[in-house]
Amino acid sequence: MILKLARNPTLQIVVAVSAGILLGLWRPDLAMAMKPLGSGFLQLVGWAIPPLMFVLVTSGVARLRCRRQARGLGVRTLVYFEALKVLALLCGLLGALLLRPGDGFAPPPEFPTHTLAAQVHSTGQGTERMVEAGAGVSPLHLWQLLSRSPVLQVALLALVCGYLLSRLGPLGEPVLAALDRLLALLFALLRVLLRFAPLAAFSAMAFTIGRYGPGSTVHLVKFIAVIYLTCLAFVGIVLAAASRFAGVGLLRLIAYIKEELLLVASTGSSVIALPGLLRKLERLGCARQSARVVLTTGYTFNLAGSNIYLSCAALFLAQTGNVELDGLQLLGLLLVCLFTSMGSTSIAGSSFLTLAATLSVLPMIPVESAGLLLGVEPLMKCRSLTNVLGNCVGCLAIARWHGSLDQTILQRALNPARAVPGRGPLRNTSRGAGGEHAEESLKGSAAGEERR
């Protein structure tokens, strides 16, 4: 019994986090020395992500045989992702405007607040420069973002390769089979890495408590609270509405993926939960190809938590420098964030890099001010949790919209006692057997479990 409990991944993570907290309180110096363990783990995970994403997206797009269906899924996915991105950025701005966590901040001497006020109040050109920055990022900055984001490059290349592979017809079957074998190998690699997740959780928690614990400043704590409250409001309003459209209760979905959410909260990396989420979404009735395309591309283009942090952090840094932004300046900030967020990834730490890239475009806020938030980065667990939950809800909502979500399987999985027998899949059979897609995905998941 004791040995069985010791092998439980959830218990291992809980024990590791508790040990990290105790070490941080007892020996802060020793706790801070644990940081390389967690950063090394996340670096290993980051190396595995580009090939994993390439194989998943390529095979998923290639298996969308019907060009009309592929086009329909792509358009729906794009519309949903962009709508959620705008809503997330607006929520971040609204949270910072209403709660104003940066007001009254006393920055350190190296923080150049005088340059902030000078650019706004002395030159009188702040609004024009902000709008010009928002309007001028289109061609050049998009190319720069693409050249600096390996994951974005891999995702776009995978979309092209998947489309070309789908055009080959039967000639592409051997390539698809090879991709499936490579995918199984990559998933096996991630399962091996997952065994070290408790060690990474211990390292991250020990470093956070030992370095920042009781000494955090009031305004940084307020900023953390604003991020958490804004993410909670976004989940409770926007994601709840999207999950209701998909025909699933948000709380039931959270309970269904609680193991993956706990894993993300402990490691700070949302990508680490990707294999488990794919299996669970297929078991919920999502067609395999839809789940792969939507979920994996969502890990680059549908990062709601990171977008909330991006806009809220930029406005917080403006508040710490006593800079008041008017309506046009806020619009310019929103436009810049829309472009720079395309370079975000779900790898831990990428949100801070995206924030620095955003500040490099804005004329109002110096890039050096982002250093104020570097110390609280490990505490932003709500970003990754919102990213994961938003991608799961988005996968179900887009599948429902596209007609590739089997409602019978969905209700049976989430409400086993209330499942309605005899209710067919949502997809119209005249459009091409959505139930067959779900059935194939379930069979594939079962076969994969048997092989493992």
Q: What pLDDT, in 10s, does the model give residues 274-317?
A: 888 989 998 888 888 788 878 877 887 788 999 999 999 999 98
62: how many CB neighbours lie within 10 A of its CB? 24
Strand partners, 405: 286
> For the chain, what are the domain ranges?
67-165+218-451
Q: Is 433 left (phi over 0), alpha (psi -120 to 50) or beta?
A: left
| CA separation for the pair 31, 451 (Å, rounded) | 41
Residues of the chain with pLDDT under 70: 1-10, 42, 46, 49, 60, 63-71, 105-152, 155, 208, 212-217, 268, 342-350, 353, 363, 367-368, 371-372, 374-375, 378, 416-452
Sequence-ordered list of residues with C-beta below 8 angstroms from that of 237, at least 6 positions apart, any chain: none
Of the candidates 316, 263, 291, 308, the one whose C-alpha atom is nearest the C-alpha of residue 394 is: 291
| CA separation for the pair 230, 278 (Å, rounded) | 27
| CA separation for the pair 146, 123 (Å, rounded) | 33
| CA separation for the pair 389, 116 (Å, rounded) | 36
- What pLDDT does residue 189 have? 82
- What pLDDT does residue 254 have? 93
The greatest distance separating any two alpha carbons of the chain, rounded to the nearest whole angstrom, comes to: 71
This prediction has a pTM of 0.64
| CA separation for the pair 374, 355 (Å, rounded) | 11
- What pLDDT does residue 442 have? 39
Sequence-ordered list of residues with C-beta below 8 angstroms from that of 193, at least 6 positions apart, any chain: 41, 44, 45, 48, 272
Contact 363, 130 (CB under 8 A): yes
| CA separation for the pair 289, 70 (Å, rounded) | 10
If you write DSSP's letter for every residue of 73-107 in order, what string do you get? HHHHHHHHHHHHHHHHHHHHHHHHHHH-TTTT---
Domain 67-165+218-451 in CATH 1.10.3860.10? The answer is yes
